[in-house]
Amino acid sequence: MAVILSNFNVFERQVAKLLSRTPGLKKSLKLFYSRLAFLRHRKNYRKRAVREPFPYRSGAKETFFGYFDKSPVNQNGYVLVYTTEEDTSKAPLPQGEVVLNVHDSKNQEVVLSITVRAFNWQQGSRAHWLDDDLFIFNDFDEASASYVAKVWSLKGEKQVKTFTLPVQDSFGVEYFISLDYQRLQALRPDYGYQNLPPMNQAELEKLENDGLWLVDFATGSSRLFISLSDLKSFQFKPEMENAHHKVNHVMISPSGRQFIFMHRFRNGGARTDRLFLADVENGQLRLLADFGMVSHCFWANEESVFGYLRGPGNKEGYWLVNVDTGDFTSFGAGKLDRYGDGHPHVWGDWFVTDTYPDKSRMQHLILGNFKTGEVREIGEFFHGFEYDGESRCDLHPRFSLDGKSVFFDSVFSGKRQLYKMDLD
C-alpha cells in the first residue's frame, strides 16, 4: 500500500491537543478543518486492500461487531455479528434493538438470532465467546430495570445463565469484571447504554460504591473489587478533587492473573487518563502510565502491554509497557507514530492496528511484527462525514483466532458493515 501523504502532521496534532481543554470548540474547528482538508486531498476511490474483504451482509440492514479487544469468531468458525434496521449514523434510540446473530462461516448461514436491547455502535453489547460453545453479552432486563449479562449456548440454542451485573471483560468461564454503564452514559455515552437515564450530578459524586466489580462465573456472586474512591486516593492530585471519575476499557491478561484498565477524570474541560494494573488475587494496584493520556491498549503477552499512549518525555506514540518493571519501550523507534492513534490487536508476534480518518477521509489498516519491526499497510477505507462522534465507525481490527484473517467494521460502502479479510 502507498505511504500516507495526507495524514495530519505533528503541528496539527499539537493544535488538537491544546484544544482538548475546550471540547466544544475543538469539535467545531475539527469539523470545519477536516471538510476543508478533504476538498484538497479527496481520492477517487473508497477502498484499497491487499485482499478483497468479505462483507457480512443482511439484506438492507447494517451489520457490525464492535470493539477491537475481542475476536468475533470461535475455533469452529462461528462469527458473532450484529444486525440493525436503525440508521447507525445517528445515536442509538432509547428503545432501540439490535439482533445478535451467530453466523456459520462454513455454510454461510445464520444459525442463531437473539434480540438485544442494551448496545452502542462502538462496542455493541460486549458480546464475546467464552469458549467454543458459550458466549456472553449485555442486555436490558425490563422487570428489574437494570443491565444484566446473559450467557447463551450455541449447541443448546438457548440461554443458560443470567448475571445481575453486566460484563466488561471476562476470563473464560471463571470470572468477569463489571462496571456501571449508567456512569458511562453520563460521562462517555459512546460506550454507555440508552435504556436508563444517565447518572445525575449527585450520583456521579458518589465514588465509594462504584468502580469495578469481580463476578464469579460459577456462583454469580460479586463484590466491589476496586472503587472509584480507591482510585481517587491512589497518588492523589489536587485536580482530582472536584472532577468526574470513571473507569473503562478493562482488559484481562492471557493468564487471567491480572488486568489493566483506564481511570479517567475530567475537571472542567481537561480530561486526564491513567493506566492501571490490578492483581486478581489480592487486588493490588500498580500505576503503569501517569502521563495524562492513554488511548488504546492490548496485551502483547503476560508481561507487556502494547498501546498508543503518552510516555516518558510526554511523547505520544505506540509503546510497549512492561507491567513488571514499568519500563516503556517505543515500538520500532517510533516507526508507527506518524499514523497517530489507533486500536492495536495482537496475535503472537503480529499485531494489526488502524488509524482515524486522514485528510482524504481514509482509514488505514496496518499490519506489524514485534520481532522484525515490519510495518505495512494492508488496506485503506473511506469514512464519510455523516458518521461522526458517537456514531463514528472505527475499523477496530481483530485477528481471527488462527491469525490468518482480520475482521473490521467499516462504512466505505455507505453503511456500517462487518468485514473479514484474509492475510495469506
Task: For residues 15 and 326, give the distance between their C-alpha atoms in angstroms, rounded to a whole number.
Answer: 30
pLDDT of 379 above 90 = yes
Task: For residues 263 and 62, give the distance between their C-alpha atoms in angstroms, rounded to a whole number.
Answer: 33
Encode pLDDT of 387-414 as tens digits: 999 999 999 999 999 999 999 999 999 9
Residue closest to 331 by CA, chosen among 277, 376, 368, 298: 368
- Find the mean pLDDT for residues 341-358: 98
- What local confidence, expressed as pLDDT, does residue 60 receive? 76
Encode pLDDT of 253-279 as tens digits: 999 999 999 999 999 878 999 999 999
* Chain centroid offset of residue 378 CA: 21
Split at pLDDT 50, 70, 90, the class of 2 is very low
Q: Do residues 214 and 223 touch, judged by C-beta distance below 8 A?
A: yes
Cell numbers standing for residue 317: 506514540
Encode pLDDT of 274-283 as tens digits: 999 999 999 9
CB environment 388-415: b (16+ within 10 A), e (fewer): bebbbbbbbbbbbbeeebbbbbbbbbeb
Cell numbers standing for residue 390: 458517537
- Find the mean pLDDT for residues 12-17: 62
CATH class of 10-422: mainly beta
Determine which of 51-60, 118-127, 203-212 has the lowest per-residue pLDDT on average. 51-60
pLDDT of 336 above 60 = yes
- Find the mean pLDDT for residues 311-329: 97
- What local confidence, expressed as pLDDT, does residue 25 receive? 67
Task: For residues 349 and 369, give the distance between their C-alpha atoms in angstroms, rounded to a whole number.
Answer: 6
pLDDT of 176 above 80 = yes
User: Who contacts 272 (Cβ-Cβ below 8 Å, separation ≥6)?
Assistant: 239, 243, 264, 265, 266, 292
- Find the mean pLDDT for residues 358-364: 97
Split at pLDDT 50, 70, 90, the class of 29 is confident
* Mean pLDDT for the chain overall: 94
- What local confidence, expressed as pLDDT, does residue 185 receive? 98
Please say whether the dihedral angle defined by the alpha carbons of residues 55, 58, 60 and 61, taken in this order, is positive or negative: negative
- What local confidence, expressed as pLDDT, does residue 270 receive? 81
- What local confidence, expressed as pLDDT, does residue 335 receive? 87
- Find the mean pLDDT for residues 75-84: 98
- What local confidence, expressed as pLDDT, does residue 268 receive? 84
Split at pLDDT 50, 70, 90, the class of 26 is low
Say what percent of the chain tops pLDDT 90: 86
- What local confidence, expressed as pLDDT, does residue 38 receive? 84
- Find the mean pLDDT for residues 85-111: 95
pLDDT of 4 above 50 = no
- Find the mean pLDDT for residues 203-232: 98
Q: Is 308 exposed, middle or buried (0-12, 13-18, 19+ CB in 10 A)?
A: buried
The strands making up 222-227's β-sheet, listed across from edge to edge, are 169-171, 175-178, 211-216, 222-227
- Find the mean pLDDT for residues 180-185: 98
pLDDT of 1 above 70 = no
Split at pLDDT 50, 70, 90, the class of 28 is confident
pLDDT of 219 above 70 = yes
- What local confidence, expressed as pLDDT, does residue 337 receive? 86
Q: What do you get for the CA distance between the two ends of the chain, in Å? A: 16
- Find the mean pLDDT for residues 361-382: 97
Task: For residues 171 and 135, give the distance between their C-alpha atoms in angstroms, rounded to a whole number.
Answer: 12
Task: For residues 241 and 167, give the distance between their C-alpha atoms in angstroms, rounded to a whole number.
Answer: 29
- β-strands 405-410, 417-422 pairing: antiparallel
Split at pLDDT 50, 70, 90, the class of 3 is very low
Cell numbers standing for residue 221: 456472586
Give, as one character, the DSSP assignment of residue 234: T
- What local confidence, expressed as pLDDT, does residue 5 receive? 40
3-state SS class at 333 = helix
User: Who contacts 199 (Cβ-Cβ below 8 Å, separation ≥6)?
Assistant: 180, 182, 183, 185, 186
Q: At what angle do helices 10-19 and 23-41 cross, to 10 degrees?
A: 150
- Find the mean pLDDT for residues 145-165: 99
